[in-house]
A and B are shown apart, each in its own frame.
Chain A
Amino acid sequence: MDARLEAYLAALRAAGLDPSREAELRREAATAPAGHGLSEAPPSPVFTEGLDVIRRVTGPYDLADLTFVQAMTPSPGSYAARLGSLDDLMARDSRREEDGFPRKIRIGKLVKPGRGGKDRVVVVPTTVEEKFLHDPNFRQQEEGGGGAGGSGEGEEGEVIGEQPVRPKEGEGGGQGAGKGEGGSHELESDAYDLGKILTEQFSLPNLQDKGKKRSLTRYTYDLTDRHRGFGQLLDKKATLRQIVETNIALGRVRQAEPPDPTGFLIAPRDKVYRILSREKDFESQALVFFLRDYSGSMSGKPTEVVVSQHVMIYSWILYQYGGQVESRFILHDTEAKEVPDFYTYYNSRVAGGTKVASAFRLVNGIVQKENLARDFNIYVFHGTDGDDWDSEGKELLPELETMMGYASRIGVTIAENSYGNSGQSEVQKYLEKSGWLEQKKNLIRLDVMSENAEEPRIIEGIKHLISE
């Protein structure tokens, strides 16, 4: 094991550590040597020799002539090819709300094979048509449930094949967060679309500066610019002046005589209009810190949930505030480091132990060193599975207190591991114990969800984290 981790564990033990808890921590620490890096693809499971590898299990209605007999590839086509525009769809959705019906557009994610064997995440609007249907999953168990058909050799009870639980990318499904694929610029352009959809979803009160209630909107639109030929509002005085100028140039105005307007020639370009134009509004700036726990315990779904949520917040901010908001990205296990872009943040692999305080300390350090609190509204979003080696939050709570001195909002998301007890994670316990969630509701929010949370739940979570 890493010497640093060993030392940290020794310190914890000295402070009195329950042996079963220590075993847990050691197990997590054992993942450290793998390092964080950006992995190429998730490791596929090692299959038992002699058994069939089952890639796909079809039901009676999965196959159709065109795709199966004629082997035509169904190309879903990008939604952009089908839709008139995303705006129309969003407009329709907000219209629904006015008409008193719930919204129907949801965010779906697809993993699409991209160039060079690298897949990328594509965000598409999706919907579902609800009907009265039988629910085949009511037993709430992960068994096959009724099973499937099969043919060939094998005794009753004999294992005949294995199927990976998480399909590899390209075999459908999967989101691929924290798994190291995708190109950064591609994510960026999709994020813009996603943000557009999310903005509609939220209809939020904009993030506001503490106390002063300054808007973060980057641009204001105003009839300040003048334009010749066309525009919204005719500027009569300027137009008249222009006409006179033109007619002087044409020699139609004699100096000695009073001008005769009826004899004026009026060119279309003489008309001067006020035109709606975008004005930069430098009123306020904001800075968002994204913090992600990438320790060993975050492996799999918790990372997906946290990263999905951060993708959404990031996308939304990117869209809503048109780039005026700066983002900083921080990853931590027992130590924290800042990474340069969302791509690295999104894709770094999980490994190692957990010390939440390290990330918050780093943020405090950055803010102090760069004197950011003076110029920026600062927002901090932290995602974790709730596990912390510092079980009492002894190190974290002072850091948080410092942070609340300058931050406009701190949003902590816990994606609970399914093997733990719900509501029993360290982070949740010590945050609740501190009482800040109640007393300083405006400054710090906590959202706890299961690692299996789906998009609608994640969006609910964001609403909770950033609402007034």
Chain B
Amino acid sequence: MQLIDQHAKRIMEGCKERARDAGLRFDDETLEYVVTNRDLIELSPKVMIPTMYDYWVHDVEVLKGRGRYELYPSNPYETVINTRPAISYYNDNNPDWLNVMIFYHVLGHIDFFQNNLYFRHTWDDDFTGQALADKRAIARLRSEHGRWVDYVIEFARSVDNLVDFHGLLSDLHRPPRNGVSTRVDYYFDVFLQDVKKVRVNDYVKEIERFNACRRRDPEAGEDAFFKEVAARHPEFAALFEKSAGKPGRQHRDVMQFLLEHSRFLAAEENKWMQTVLQIVRQTSLYFQPQIRTKIMNEGWASYWHETLFMQDDRIAGHEVDFARVNAAVTAMPRVGLNPYALGMRLFYFIEEAADKGRYSREFLSLLDIDRRKRFDTAVGGGRETIFAVRENLNDFLFINTFIEQDFVTRHKLFVADKVLDEQRMVWRWFVKSRKAEDYKRMIKDSLYHPPHITVDVAKTGGDALHLVHHFEGMPLVQEYVQNTMLGLEFLWGGKVVLETTEVKSVKQPEKAQQPTLPGIAAPVVDQAPEPEITWQRVRYTMKDRKLSKGLI
């Protein structure tokens, strides 16, 4: 692995100037390396981070068939690494004009990494440097504790998707506490909701009463408020007292919970395991925003490599070459989803709509299709809008907010589905829907979404770690439960319980027999009716490395 030559570096610096002029913002320093296939063999298992810690699984073919994106929220063949300075990788025989296009694409990514707020927690660190320190720490631990280090890495990785990425962001973006005491927090967040289970109506009334007290007397208002609380709920003071020192009622970050509350990990001889858990957790958090902004990030980079390449005076004569490569990257596939193509089109669409003043009440209330087409108030500001979008949104919000019927219709998008032709052993793909709502749903369903599993602190209490899977219409992969819980039991040092929901029975609907009529050309497929599924809530218990399961 070596740096690109001076000639290519000069081209890159030229690209940076032009990109800055267009409004992109990024650090001055970047590192560009040439990679060979040989390098890739070593780099790809380490998700292109050369300093990633060593782990034997990296050396083995890993089966990823089932839920592979959920399992690995990072792509092994990424070009740009979000670190300081940003690192990018290049094939060593790219012609100059192609490098210009790729450099712009890379700068699009760097701009995205360094400005999108979902990456906030990565802004202050040189991740590859951090990774190098981690790698050394793990190597040192391995020399002391041998294979047990690998067990701990394995178990830590088995829960590394249960980290509270959004909680971390929320802490980073939260304004400082505005003088609200823990007593108020406890009263409104826990006491009223969990202990008293008051109705929303009464809850709002309490908030109003609290605000009123504070308005009347900013200093002693809170005390006055709680005087009445004490009169109404004499048990409040005692409960509040008891709650002090107890962790919050729900922990979304299972790894952090283990770090803070596992007695096993806190034992003197096991302290080193906390280091390993920290490293795995930090690494996981680092990758979280990447998978949650894939469509936006690729769309943004594609938007800019296209826009800037066309304006670049240095590539004259290679427009056709560019068109071929660019079309291959940004064409919408007949069936399938290309994040480059979709994201780029959506950015163009948003820019145009904003330029024409279509994000306005006036346009939204317009129903006439012709007038909608011609609607243009020429307010401008499209560029600013897409810059704001790239700063503030992630894939879910991007798709959910901006995909609309006009967009779906313009690009002739549809939801495709397939039926099996058993005779010929082919899948027959058909157009399922051209409605924006369905298209949006289909994309949202395919986005990364780890299961929502929290620690039930109240039930965890004494010795058993109690996890709750908040069911969102999809069960967990059953065959993975055993080993994941085995690891959790090890890290917790005691019994582990998981509440989850599973399929009780599936009733396949009767397939309607369709008589085939001779002479009808257009093959039309009936949509298969959804099977009926009944669910049941179950409880898995892992104790002494034995898994048992019971109904709730």
Contact = CB atoms under 8 A, between A and B. Distances in A.
Interface of A: 45-48, 52, 54, 56-61, 63-77, 79, 81-84, 89, 92, 95, 99-102, 105-106, 108, 110, 124-144, 146-166
A69 B432 CA distance: 30
B180 interface: no
A64 B506 CA distance: 37
A65 B506 contact: no
Most chain B CB within a 10 A radius of its CB, from A70, A153, A156, A163: A70
Nearest to A56: B336
Contacts of A163: 335, 418, 426-427, 429
Given A72-B40, A131-B161, A166-B425, A160 B334 contact: yes
Given A70-B102, A130-B483, A150-B429, A61 B334 contact: no
A205 B481 CA distance: 31
Contacts of A162: 421, 426-429
A181 B59 CA distance: 29
Contact of B62 (A84, A129, A150): A129
A286 to B, nearest CB: 33
Given A102-B483, A159-B428, A149 B439 contact: yes
A136 B66 CA distance: 8
Nearest to A137: B66
B151 A135 contact: no
A136 B294 contact: no
27 contacts: A46-B424, A52-B334, A59-B336, A59-B446, A60-B443, A65-B80, A66-B40, A70-B94, A81-B41, A92-B56, A92-B147, A110-B61, A126-B62, A128-B63, A131-B484, A132-B469, A133-B450, A134-B70, A134-B475, A139-B533, A151-B334, A154-B431, A157-B524, A163-B429, A165-B425, A165-B426, A165-B427
A298 to B, nearest CB: 16
Interface in B452-511: 453, 469, 472, 474-484, 486, 498, 503, 506, 508
Contact of A147 (B70, B77, B415, B523): B415
B484 A148 contact: no
Given A92-B56, A138-B533, A158-B523, 4 more contacts: A133-B66, A138-B475, A141-B531, A150-B333
A143 B419 contact: yes
Identify the 4 closest CB pairs spanning chains A and B, nearest first: A65-B79, A150-B416, A130-B480, A147-B417
Nearest to B72: A129
B147 A95 contact: yes
Given A127-B57, A147-B432, A60 B446 contact: yes
A133 B67 contact: yes
Nearest to B330: A69
B338 interface: yes
Contacts of A140: 506, 508, 531
A121 to B, nearest CB: 14
A60 B432 contact: no
B525 interface: yes
Contacts of B424: 45-46
B480 A83 contact: no
A59 B69 contact: yes
A380 B105 CA distance: 62
B91 interface: yes
Given A45-B426, A132-B453, A150-B336, A157 B525 contact: yes
Most chain B CB within a 10 A radius of its CB, from A72, A92, A132, A154: A132
Given A129-B157, A142-B420, A60 B44 contact: no
Contacts of B48: 66
Contacts of A99: 147, 151
A152 B56 contact: no
B101 to A, nearest CB: 8
A325 to B, nearest CB: 29
A106 B420 CA distance: 31
Contact of B476 (A81, A110, A135): A135
A72 B63 contact: no
Given A58-B337, A129-B71, A160 B469 contact: no
Interface in B271-296: 291, 294-295
B429 A161 contact: yes
A160 B416 contact: yes
Q: Is the interface of A mostly helix, strand, loop or mixed?
A: loop
A158 B334 CA distance: 14
A54 B337 contact: no
Most chain B CB within a 10 A radius of its CB, from A108, A146, A148, A159: A148
A61 B69 contact: yes
B91 A133 contact: no
A45 B425 contact: yes
Contacts of B75: 61, 64
A333 B38 CA distance: 48
B449 interface: yes
Nearest to B434: A156
Contacts of B258: none
B165 interface: no
Contacts of A126: 60-63
Contact of A151 (B158, B412, B482): B412
B78 A65 contact: yes
Contacts of B113: none
Contact of A149 (B66, B294, B416): B416
A132 B475 CA distance: 10
A129 B57 contact: yes
B411 interface: yes
Contacts of A143: 417-420, 528
Nearest to B36: A72
Contact of B102 (A69, A81, A146): A69
Nearest to A82: B59
Contacts of A129: 57, 62, 71, 154, 157-158
B90 interface: yes
Nearest to A79: B61
Contact of A60 (B295, B421, B522, B533): B295
A174 to B, nearest CB: 13
Contact of A64 (B79, B158, B449): B79
B50 interface: no
